[in-house]
Structure 1
Amino acid sequence: MQTPISCSPHPSRYTELSSGADPGRGIEAVWVSVADKARAHRVLPDGRCDIILRFCAKVRPINSITVVVTGPTTRHYDVVVEPGMGFAGIRLRPGFFYPILGLSPGLLRDGNLMGEAAIGACPQLADLCAEATSPDDLPGRLVAFVQHRIALGHSLPPIKTLRILSALHASGGRLAVQDIARMQDISTRTVQRIVRDATGLPPKSYARILQFHRALRLLRDHHLRPSEAAFEAGYADQAHMTHALRDFGGLSPARMGDVTLVTLGD
Structure 2
Amino acid sequence: MQYYTILPPPDLAPFVKCFWVLEHEVSAEKPYFHKTLADGFPELVFHYKGRFDEIDRAGNAELSFIAGLTGPTSLYRRFRISEDFGIFGVYLYPFAVPALFGMPTIETVNEMPDLHSMLGKKGLELEEKIMLAENNQVRIAIMCQFMRGCLTRNAQPEPAAFAMISQIIQSNGLTSVTELAQRNALSTRQFERKFKAFSGFSPKLFSRIIRFHAAMNAYGDKEKSLTEIAYEAGYYDQSHFIHDFKTFSGEHPDRYFSGNSEATEYRDV
For the aligned pair, the TM-score class normalised by the smaller chain equals: 0.7 to 0.9
Consecutive unaligned residues in structure 2, runs of 5 or more: 51-64
Per the normalisation by structure 1, the TM-score is 0.80
Distance in structure 2 (CA, Å) of the matches to 1:51 and 1:21: 19
Are 1:51 and 2:51 counterparts?
no
Aligned to 2:150: 149
Q: Deviations over 1:56-91 (max 9, x none)?
A: 27xxxxxxx942112111021112123332221112
Contact 1:219 1:226 in 2 (8 A): no
Aligned Cα root-mean-square deviation (Å): 2.6
Contact 1:54 1:85 in 2 (8 A): yes
Q: What are the within-5 Å matches in structure 2 for residues 8-157 of structure 1?
A: 12-18=1-7, 20=9, 23-37=12-26, 38-56=31-49, 66-120=66-120, 123-131=121-129, 132-136=132-136, 137-150=138-151, 152-157=152-157
Per-residue deviation at 1:25?
4.7
Consecutive unaligned residues in structure 1, runs of 5 or more: 1-11, 58-64
Contact 2:115 2:127 in 1 (8 A): no
Change (3 A) 1:105 1:261: farther
Contact 2:45 2:67 in 1 (8 A): yes
Identity %: 23
Q: Deviations over 1:109-131 (max 9, x none)?
A: 111112532333xx422221235
Q: What are the within-5 Å matches in structure 2 for residues 162-241 of structure 1?
A: 162-218=162-218, 220-221=220-221, 223-241=223-241
Q: Secondary structure at the match of 2:103?
A: coil
Matched length: 242
Q: Secondary structure at the match of 1:74?
A: coil
Distance in structure 1 (CA, Å) of the matches to 2:89 and 2:218: 26
- Paired letter, 1:168: I
Per the normalisation by structure 2, the TM-score is 0.80
